[in-house]
Amino acid sequence: MKKIAIIGAGISGMYFANLLQKSSDFDFTIFEKRSLLYMKNGYGIQLSVNSIKLLNQIGFNKIDKKEIFNPNKVIFFNAKNNQKICDIDISRFNYEDTQYTTLKRSTLLNFLLNNIPKEKIKLNTELKNLTYDNKLKLSFSSNVTEDFDYLIISDGVFSKSKTIILNKNIKPKYFKSIALRGNLRNYPNEDISLYLGSKFHFVIYPVNKSDEFNFIAIIRKHLTNHQLSDENLYNDKNLLKSITQELYKKTTLELEGKLENIKFFPLYISEKLEISDNKNVFFIGDALFATPPSFAQGASQSIETAKELFDQIENNKNDFYEKIIKRLNSVSWRSKLNYFSFHLSNPIVSSFRNSILKILVKNNKFLDSYLGNIYRD
């Protein structure tokens, strides 16, 4: 039986653990630096059918349907005047119980957590060192040293473990944008609403069948290196107020006084794919490669990379990175293209974009290429 250490209890690490739990060939332990995993609330995420198909393999299709939502369309709006531009029918990629799904991130994490025995998770524990002598010898902040056959790093875009493994300071790149997140109730549209503005866009979608909605805005924002290194930046109430007031002025949609639990954070992406020389050490999720959020594939790609790695280990293959790099690049350039086209500031160019969008959303060949190649693979 192979022993596997998983660093980080996020979506990718927990999904990977669920796959291991269904197999009798592996023993695993999850090491998580936080002291608490159980979550009741949280912001929303989108899961396209490529990841729902994989989640259904571990029983996601049996989840309480009141806790999730299945939107049928993405509706584009002009943020300035709240006028509809066009819509995309995303339900055309659905099949049987595999449907585009929106939900709270906490709902997904709790589903993944419920399938894992408590003794498999070590909280308040960080990786401190790795040596190799036939086995991977891992040293942890709990002063415990233990041997493993495989090490899976899934501790996010700011992975400290990645720096330890590669023995160099790995830093993600600030994407010159911030994400403004919040919760909303009783929004009139039950599909995914995408509002396009000058140097910003925002998205609203339901996260369950209790009239709870997620709000996320991606706003271009210059932040100095001093600001980015300030650990208290996220708690700067004056900066948060300035950001929200600026957004409210740029849209006729009435958001002021309706958004709850508003927070912001800088967006970071990976500049290049970094891998370990050790054939038994792997990165998955954002620890592997973080893309801009403008294609709504972050959670789905975390799940896909975890599934691909599990298949590789289970079948004793060694081409994990070769398998996934093309797909990650495809998602990354789509995300960057969306980001660019969503944020156009010239009114003439924006009007031309809107005209093109109206044509493309009705072109099945284009949709099958741009969305289907990701959703269906």
What pLDDT digit, counting tens, does each position of 48-98 carry? 999 999 999 999 999 999 999 999 999 999 999 999 999 999 999 999 999
Specify the pLDDT at position 41.
72
Tokens of 178: 């911030």
Specify the pLDDT at position 48.
98
CA distances from 42 to 16, 121, 210, 290 (A): 22, 21, 15, 20
pLDDT tens, 130-152? Answer: 998 889 999 999 999 999 999 99
Asked, for residue 178, whether it belongs to a domain, the answer is no
Please report, for the domain that includes residue 322, its CATH number.
3.50.50.60
Count of the separate structural domains present in the chain: 1
pLDDT classification of 172: cutoffs 50, 70, 90: very high
> Which amino acid, one-letter code, is at 337?
L
Q: Are 199 and 219 in contact (CB under 8 A)?
A: yes
| Averaged pLDDT for residues 274-301 | 96
Asked, for residue 215, whether it belongs to a domain, the answer is no
> Which amino acid, one-letter code, is at 96?
E
User: Average pLDDT over the chain, rounded to whole?
Assistant: 95
Specify the pLDDT at position 38.
65
Specify the pLDDT at position 235.
87
Question: What is the spatial distance between Cα 214 and Cα 261, in angstroms, rounded to a whole number?
Answer: 11
| DSSP string for 162-181 | HHHHHTS---PEEEEEEEEE
223 three-class SS: coil
Asked, for residue 100, whether it belongs to a domain, the answer is yes
Secondary structure percentages of the chain, helix, strand, coil, to 5 = 40, 30, 35
* pLDDT above 90 for 334: yes
Please, what is the Cα angle at 172 between 170 and 176, to 5 degrees? 155
Length of the chain, please? Answer: 377
Does the pTM of the predicted model rise above 0.85?
Answer: yes
Question: What is the spatial distance between Cα 347 and Cα 175, in angstroms, rounded to a whole number?
Answer: 24
302 three-class SS: helix
CA distances from 148 to 3, 170, 322 (A): 5, 24, 24
Asked, for residue 205, whether it belongs to a domain, the answer is no
- Which residues 6+ apart lie within 8 Å of 327 measured at CB? 301, 304, 374, 377
| Averaged pLDDT for residues 189-215 | 97
Please, what is the Cα angle at 247 between 243 and 250, to 5 degrees? 150
201 three-class SS: strand
Asked, for residue 68, whether it belongs to a domain, the answer is yes
Tokens of 110: 């709790």
Asked, for residue 52, whether it belongs to a domain, the answer is yes
CA distances from 47 to 24, 126, 152, 193, 304 (A): 29, 29, 23, 15, 11
Residue-range definition of the domain harbouring residue 356: 2-171+270-375
Question: What is the spatial distance between Cα 357 and Cα 376, in angstroms, rounded to a whole number?
Answer: 22
* pLDDT above 70 for 20: yes
> Which amino acid, one-letter code, is at 277?
D
Specify the pLDDT at position 232.
87
* pLDDT above 70 for 22: yes
Asked, for residue 89, whether it belongs to a domain, the answer is yes
Specify the pLDDT at position 40.
67
CA distances from 265 to 43, 232, 233, 321, 335 (A): 13, 11, 8, 30, 18
| Averaged pLDDT for residues 322-340 | 95
| Averaged pLDDT for residues 246-250 | 96
Tokens of 262: 């508003």
How many other CB atoms are found less than 10 A from the CB of residue 33? 16
Q: Are 7 and 279 in contact (CB under 8 A)?
A: no
pLDDT tens, 97-111? Answer: 999 999 999 999 999
pLDDT tens, 36-51? Answer: 876 667 899 999 999 9
Tell me, what DSSP letter sits at residue 190? -
Specify the pLDDT at position 376.
85
Question: What is the spatial distance between Cα 321 and Cα 275, in angstroms, rounded to a whole number?
Answer: 8
pLDDT classification of 358: cutoffs 50, 70, 90: very high
Question: What is the spatial distance between Cα 141 and Cα 128, in angstroms, rounded to a whole number?
Answer: 6
Backbone angles phi, psi at 130, to 5 degrees: -140, 130
Asked, for residue 242, whether it belongs to a domain, the answer is no
